[in-house]
Amino acid sequence: MRPLLSLINPKYFYRILDWQHKPYELAGSLAKVQEFDHYNNLIDLNSIFSTFPAGDPVDRTETVTGPFAFAVQRPWQPAQAKQDFSEVIALRVNYYLNTGKKLNLCWSGGIDSTCLVAGFLQHTAHLDQLRILYSPWSVYENREFFEYLKTNYPALDMLDISGDVYLETVFDGIMINGHGGDEFTASLDESFFDTVGYQGLHQPWQSLITDPTLQEFCTEYFALAQRPIDTVLEARWWFYAATKSQIFAPRDSVFATNATTSAFFNCQEFEDYMWHNIDQVIDNNNYISYKQFMKQYIYRFWPNDNYLKLARKVSSLQFVLYTRKKTELLGQQWIAYLSDGTAIRTLNLPLFSECEFKNTYGDSLEYLFKYL
């Protein structure tokens, strides 16, 4: 069985379509490819939810055929167990602890990563299994939590990865990040919230998705959630959970040359929790209440009133910027990652040509393009 795609870099990957004379048009950074109408519907839907769609949709229901052969890492299945959020965290933490490996917790200072650090510190018997990776921007984002850790957990291994450290260190064990925390909570960015408002989130989804053809597609696609999808918020939750939760490759971080990268919230337990509790995505008409249930969980570990009342979701891009920089400096640019972790790359990236691609791969990757 040949490995399928795990992640593609649109900057290079779509140029292959030009060489194959396959017509496409861009929406954000995504390609709508001729003859893949249902897949293009997903991109149209993405364009409604986001001003600049990025990250190719990978349909976890496996009902929509796209132009590229992606491997679905975790096919969609309807929710089973109904558990408390604290039980979900405990299950997830114990899963990692039982590996016996060193656990590198990527703490950006945001809500998701603070939540996972709080979970690990509550359930870990041996602190030496943990290592917190942070940067000055993590401290900038959540200084009080940083000081709380320093004061109350002096034995905890905390490593500032800025400067030369992220460029030169090869980590072992598992790199655990907060990915999935957005995708399974409707990926509700502030600009979308400002546009539709709290009331708008609870309007029928047909008020936002007005195109009849798209409505027809959505009616069928939303039924696959096997729970009612009536409102804009539910539609948004389903879209991101079903198609956008797999946007990170198994080795999306070059910190992790010898380590596995794992997304803490990209798991069945958390997905099930949100399936039952979409109403918890946001509490009221103030954007600060987005992910309030996570902040309440953090509060039980670290009772900080200011954080509970005032912390808001921000996009923490520091680790992404570090990763990109290290990728460039090491000459490890990539065209795509396959599901077995191998990178598709040509020798002289970022200079990319048909000639170099053919010289490197010939026709051996044609199976990744479904229209060929």
Partner 1 sequence: MTSGTKFYKIKLINRLLEHTHRVRSQLLDELTTNATDPVVFKRRLRMLRQVNSYESQLLQKVENFETNDMQDLVNFDVAPFFKDITWRSS
Minimum distance from residue 188 beta carbon to partner 1 (Å): 25
Minimum distance from residue 218 beta carbon to partner 1 (Å): 36
Which two structure tokens, joined as six digits, stand for 302?
Answer: 């670290």
Between 221 and 352, name the residue whose CB sits nearer to partner 1: 352
Minimum distance from residue 89 beta carbon to partner 1 (Å): 30
Between 125 and 347, name the residue whose CB sits nearer to partner 1: 347
Name which of 172, 186, 162 is nearest 237 in CA terms.
186
Between 310 and 329, name the residue whose CB sits nearer to partner 1: 329
- Residues 133, 175: Cα–Cα separation, whole Å: 9
Minimum distance from residue 334 beta carbon to partner 1 (Å): 13
Minimum distance from residue 45 beta carbon to partner 1 (Å): 29
Q: How many helices (H) and strands (E) does the chain have?
A: 15, 10
State the amino acid at position 27 in one-letter form.
A
Minimum distance from residue 355 beta carbon to partner 1 (Å): 4
Residue 35 · residue 279 · CB < 8 Å = no
Between 227 and 326, name the residue whose CB sits nearer to partner 1: 326
Contacts of residue 87, defined as CB under 8 A and 6 or more positions apart, other chains included, come to: none
Minimum distance from residue 361 beta carbon to partner 1 (Å): 14
The residue count of the chain comes to 372
Contacts of residue 29, defined as CB under 8 A and 6 or more positions apart, other chains included, come to: 10, 52, 53, 54
Contacts of residue 41, defined as CB under 8 A and 6 or more positions apart, other chains included, come to: 64, 213, 214, 217, 218, 221
Point out which residues bind partner 1 (CB under 8 A). 137, 163-164, 318, 321-322, 324-325, 327-329, 331, 347-356, 359
Which two structure tokens, joined as six digits, stand for 347?
Answer: 């020798």
Between 290 and 319, name the residue whose CB sits nearer to partner 1: 319
Between 20 and 359, name the residue whose CB sits nearer to partner 1: 359
Between 81 and 330, name the residue whose CB sits nearer to partner 1: 330
Minimum distance from residue 329 beta carbon to partner 1 (Å): 6
- Residues 242, 207: Cα–Cα separation, whole Å: 21
- Residues 88, 268: Cα–Cα separation, whole Å: 9
Which two structure tokens, joined as six digits, stand for 82?
Answer: 């109904």
The strand pairing partners of 157, in sequence order, are 131
Minimum distance from residue 345 beta carbon to partner 1 (Å): 12
- Residues 288, 304: Cα–Cα separation, whole Å: 15
- Residues 192, 52: Cα–Cα separation, whole Å: 12
- Residues 278, 267: Cα–Cα separation, whole Å: 16
Between 277 and 327, name the residue whose CB sits nearer to partner 1: 327
Between 223 and 330, name the residue whose CB sits nearer to partner 1: 330
